[in-house]
Structure 1
Amino acid sequence: MRLSSKTTLVSCLLVFTVVMSCSLNTEQTATIDPETYWGENPWPEIRKSRISKLLPEAMKAANVDCWLVVCRENNNDPIAPHVGGENAGGTAAFLFYIDGEGFHSKVYSPSGEATALDDLDIHDEVVSVRGASTVGMAIDFIKESGFDQIAINSSSSNSMADGLSYTQRQSIESRLGTDVDKLVSSTELIYEWLSIKLPEEVEILRKAAQLTADWQVEAYEQVVPGKSTDADIAKFLKQKMASYGVTDGWAPDQNPNVNSGPDRGHSHATDKVIMPGDVIQIDFGIKLYDRWVSDIQRFAYVLKEGETEAPEDIQFYWESGKAGSRAALAAMKPGVTGASVDRAQRLLMQAAKSESVPWSTGHPVGYVAHDVGPSLGGGMSKRVRPSSAKLLKEGMTFAFDGFHAWKRADGTEKTISVEEMAVVTTNGAEYLIPPQEELILIGLK
């Protein structure tokens, strides 16, 4: 077996050398001490910065002067970890507001959690409440302050902005009385806030992407044609995750998605045996610090007897997909729509006579694999959906593909989807890590 990639993927993450003992044929894997290896979780400090630096701008962009988040135990709001409400027991009311003196945060917390919440030093003020309604006190403050637009987490289009229960909303509306018409959805506010990543978050995503790509290359080195299965590769990558103390980037049963046969979409790896002539896809993501997620694909071709390189047709499909990825990256810059990025690579797909694919060119990635932000899709549609009409902004991070799909001899379809990660910069965009330049070639053993 040999690897032909000219790009050497060197992890920028390692702070000391870790000797690993992993293969497809062993259950034993050397492990590291995650606490020592990863260091202290940076989320608490990053969260503070996100609230103080990015949230005021998001509120202004959404034309909101007050935002009310209600957190509680067992059925919490999905935004809770971003505002410090992840440990809520009794109902707590988080207020963020802008007045003549600037941006402020105030929390009405049950007394049992108030001390610990105050210790986090996230909010300007934590009011300890005993024997009274925290939401009621928050509403009283809102009414006294005379805010014009009060955002609440009730949304038909963004699950991260839809954490308020029906009964919670009833209670808020009842308490507001004649001010109820001031309520607006937090959809745009949360979109503006979560879609932008701080530079230090981009660096974490860069590290996650590098590990994800490195491990896929390493997994391909283990393949024995005619013996190894797609599930073997997936198992190898699961072992790498366990040894490094990281978790799945998305649903564990479908991460990684390893497929050496026809397209299966989002799927689990099967027991299909990898054979000469196969094109192998690995779609893989990891989560660092239980917060930031990667999403990277790497492709390989299994050489047939006597072959030293991929056949002309396979190489053409690869180059076409790669060109689409480069076109999409070149189209990314602040102020353009997600649809325009999608269109840039789909024009190349048409020129290369690719079969159509049902997937968008890309999607935001960060806190989850499919994060909040513009969809890179709809570029060839007559009616562009709202998420694809959104404008790209500096600090947004994306996972995106360059596609080429073709019909196999048996009539099934296969797609090369050169998936990389990128961040939008001041004047354009840049890959988080060096992209895959060549198909990885797996020889007979």
Structure 2
Amino acid sequence: MFNRQSSMEKLLKHLSILGLTILTVNAMAQSFVNKTNPWPEIRKQRLNQLLPNALKAAEVDAWLIVCRENNNDPLADHIGCENAGASAAYLFYQNDKGFHSLVYSPSSESKALSELNIHDKVIAVPRGESAIEKVAEFMKQQNFERIAINSSPNNAQADGLSYTQRMTLEKALGNSFSKRLVSADDVVYEWLSIKLPAEVEIMREAAKLTAQWQIEAYKTVVPGKTTDAVLAAFLKTKMKQHGVGDAWAPDQNPNVNSGPDRGHSHATDKVIMPGDVIQIDFGIKLYDRWISDIQRFAYVLAAGETEAPEDIKHYWLSAREGGKAAFKAMKPGVRGIDVDAAQSKLMKQNGSEPVMWSTGHPVGYVAHDTGPNLGGSRGATVRPAAHKTLKAGMVFAFDGFHSWQRNDGTFKTISVEEMAVITESGAEYLIQPQQQLILIQSN
């Protein structure tokens, strides 16, 4: 239980929220700004260790990504073409000699790209010549049967090829060979959904900070005075002090809500009052790459209360146990929809109102990353990814749900959110899950 703070402590807290932090706080503000970014080395490992398996699983001979300046492919910095100027063609393929990466790069950028030592071969394309035409000629010489390109109606991360780029590519290939082009949906799915152990450890660190800062934020609450927006501002200050970014849209991160359900939204000026159940949905981004997605819940004790009322206790325990049921169901070979069903069964038994949200989602480079969707058992519409199976190395954010109708007719949902990585034998929490509802004292 959090005790009320002295007037001086409250003053210092609110000064910090307003950005007037003291020098000792500023001294620790660069904790991530000055750290060496591990992405360049991890990117190489992902290309060499994971991408060959992704091509095999997707049953394609090659994967082509066309990069360019200003309106680049979403996966540009995953393959080393984030600095492309004129069009460049990045080709990953397999033959009887193994896995290869070949780049046709504008001559003005080819030397710098070669020095990164990411790809097997970088071929300089003189000014006035076309990288797309050259890669098309190479693919025809290799007689590839299935060539994946980033054109997808289902996954934005696999939909980077523009209409005009595709027209140029098909013209260079010719009508007959263009029929061998297929969506890179499966390649991107198989590649992005698996995270290396080093990446999991970074996300574990992000999750730890995310949960820790939420607990610290709850300690600043003064019922009847503190607003949801002030609590959100406290967390924004924490992010700035430590040099970390937002895991999703900055205007909606963190989402602090002490009132009825509002879904993905911004924090408002609602004053936190006794009897409120407070939700903080918060995520941070480390090294401008890996993110967390954690929710923590608190209850504001009414006058005379020393513990939450029985109904609130029930809602909390129901949500917590629902999350545990989902966690226990998470293991290699299990479909996402089955993980959702494991929790849905408990929700029904415990009297929860219907909840529109899926139990969970992949998390990693973005909040809703590529991979199996942990949903579909409670709704008429099932996403195709809900039928995909979990694999070791996948990381998920998932919720324990319980929803109820409030006295004013609105609904409130406890959705305590945790993160877990799939292992060879099951799942492992990235951090200790929330076990107890946080209690905040009133006057």
User: Structure 1 length normalisation: TM-score?
Assistant: 0.94
**2:431 aligns with one of 433, 439, 443:** 433
Mapped contact 1:24–1:233 kept (Cα < 8 A): no
**1:34 and 1:161 mapped to 2: Cα distance?**
34
Deviations 1:313-340 (A, max 9, x none): 0010000000000000000000010000
Deviations 1:250-300 (A, max 9, x none): 000000000000000001000000010000000000000000010000000
Q: How far has the Cα of 1:386 moved from its partner?
A: 1.1
1:61 and 2:51 are equivalent in the alignment? no
**1:113 and 1:310 mapped to 2: Cα distance?**
63
**1:311 and 1:385 mapped to 2: Cα distance?**
38
Structure 1 residues 142 and 43, CA gap change in structure 2 (3 angstroms): same
Structure 1 residues 35 and 382, CA gap change in structure 2 (3 angstroms): closer
**1:423 aligns with one of 421, 424, 427:** 421
**2:215 and 2:232 mapped to 1: Cα distance?**
13
Deviations 1:95-150 (A, max 9, x none): 10101100000111101111111111110011111131011111111111111111
In structure 2, the residue matched to 1:316 is 314
**2:20 aligns with one of 24, 28, 44:** 28
Mapped contact 1:338–1:388 kept (Cα < 8 A): yes
In structure 1, the residue matched to 2:117 is 121
Structure 1 residues 350 and 38, CA gap change in structure 2 (3 angstroms): farther
**1:180 and 1:140 mapped to 2: Cα distance?**
12
Q: Which amino acid aligns with 1:73?
A: E
Mapped contact 1:362–1:398 kept (Cα < 8 A): yes
In structure 2, the residue matched to 1:6 is none
In structure 2, the residue matched to 1:350 is 348
Structure 1 residues 245 and 384, CA gap change in structure 2 (3 angstroms): same
Mapped contact 2:148–2:182 kept (Cα < 8 A): yes
**1:299 aligns with one of 269, 285, 297:** 297
Q: Which amino acid aligns with 1:200?
A: A
**1:380 and 1:179 mapped to 2: Cα distance?**
44
Structure 1 residues 328 and 36, CA gap change in structure 2 (3 angstroms): closer
1:266 and 2:258 are equivalent in the alignment? no
In structure 2, the residue matched to 1:143 is 140
Mapped contact 1:24–1:235 kept (Cα < 8 A): no
Q: How far has the Cα of 1:432 moved from its partner?
A: 0.4
Give the SS at the match of 2:316. helix
1:394 and 2:384 are equivalent in the alignment? no
**2:277 and 2:193 mapped to 1: Cα distance?**
34
> Does 379-388 or 247-256 show the bigger shift?
379-388
In structure 1, the residue matched to 2:7 is none
**1:169 aligns with one of 166, 169, 172:** 166
Mapped contact 2:356–2:379 kept (Cα < 8 A): no
**2:351 and 2:112 mapped to 1: Cα distance?**
60
Q: How far has the Cα of 1:75 moved from its partner?
A: 0.4
1:210 and 2:208 are equivalent in the alignment? yes
Give the SS at the match of 1:287. strand
Mapped contact 2:32–2:287 kept (Cα < 8 A): no
Q: Which amino acid aligns with 1:115?
A: K
**1:281 aligns with one of 271, 279, 282:** 279
**1:151 and 1:33 mapped to 2: Cα distance?**
44
User: Structure 2: where are the runs of 5+ without partners?
Assistant: 4-10
Q: How far has the Cα of 1:25 moved from its partner?
A: 3.8
Identity, % of aligned pairs?
64
Q: How far has the Cα of 1:24 moved from its partner?
A: 3.2
Mapped contact 1:354–1:404 kept (Cα < 8 A): yes
Q: Which amino acid aligns with 1:360?
A: S
Q: Which amino acid aligns with 1:100?
A: D
Give the SS at the match of 1:359. coil
1:185 and 2:175 are equivalent in the alignment? no
Q: RMSD across aligned C-alpha pairs, in angstroms?
A: 1.4
Deviations 1:366-394 (A, max 9, x none): 00000000100012456643110011100
In structure 2, the residue matched to 1:227 is 225
Deviations 1:413-433 (A, max 9, x none): 000001000000001001100
Give the SS at the match of 2:44. helix
User: Structure 2 length normalisation: TM-score?
Assistant: 0.94
Give the SS at the match of 1:219. helix
Q: Which amino acid aligns with 2:50?
A: L
In structure 1, the residue matched to 2:2 is 2
Q: Which amino acid aligns with 2:352?
A: S
Give the SS at the match of 1:309. coil
1:83-94 maps to which residues of 2 (within 5 A)?
Answer: 83-94=79-90
Q: Which amino acid aligns with 1:24?
A: H
Deviations 1:161-211 (A, max 9, x none): 100000110111111112111111000000000000000000000000000
Q: Which amino acid aligns with 2:39?
A: W
**2:32 and 2:386 mapped to 1: Cα distance?**
42
Structure 1 residues 381 and 77, CA gap change in structure 2 (3 angstroms): same
**1:310 and 1:24 mapped to 2: Cα distance?**
27
Q: Which amino acid aligns with 2:58?
A: A
**2:318 and 2:115 mapped to 1: Cα distance?**
54
Deviations 1:62-84 (A, max 9, x none): 00111110000000000101100
Deviations 1:384-408 (A, max 9, x none): 4311001110000000001000011
Count of residue pairs the alignment pairs up? 428
1:239-258 maps to which residues of 2 (within 5 A)?
Answer: 239-258=237-256
Structure 1 residues 183 and 269, CA gap change in structure 2 (3 angstroms): same
Give the SS at the match of 1:269. coil
In structure 1, the residue matched to 2:6 is none
Mapped contact 2:232–2:267 kept (Cα < 8 A): yes
Give the SS at the match of 2:203. helix
**1:349 and 1:233 mapped to 2: Cα distance?**
30
1:394-413 maps to which residues of 2 (within 5 A)?
Answer: 394-413=392-411
Q: Which amino acid aligns with 2:115?
A: D
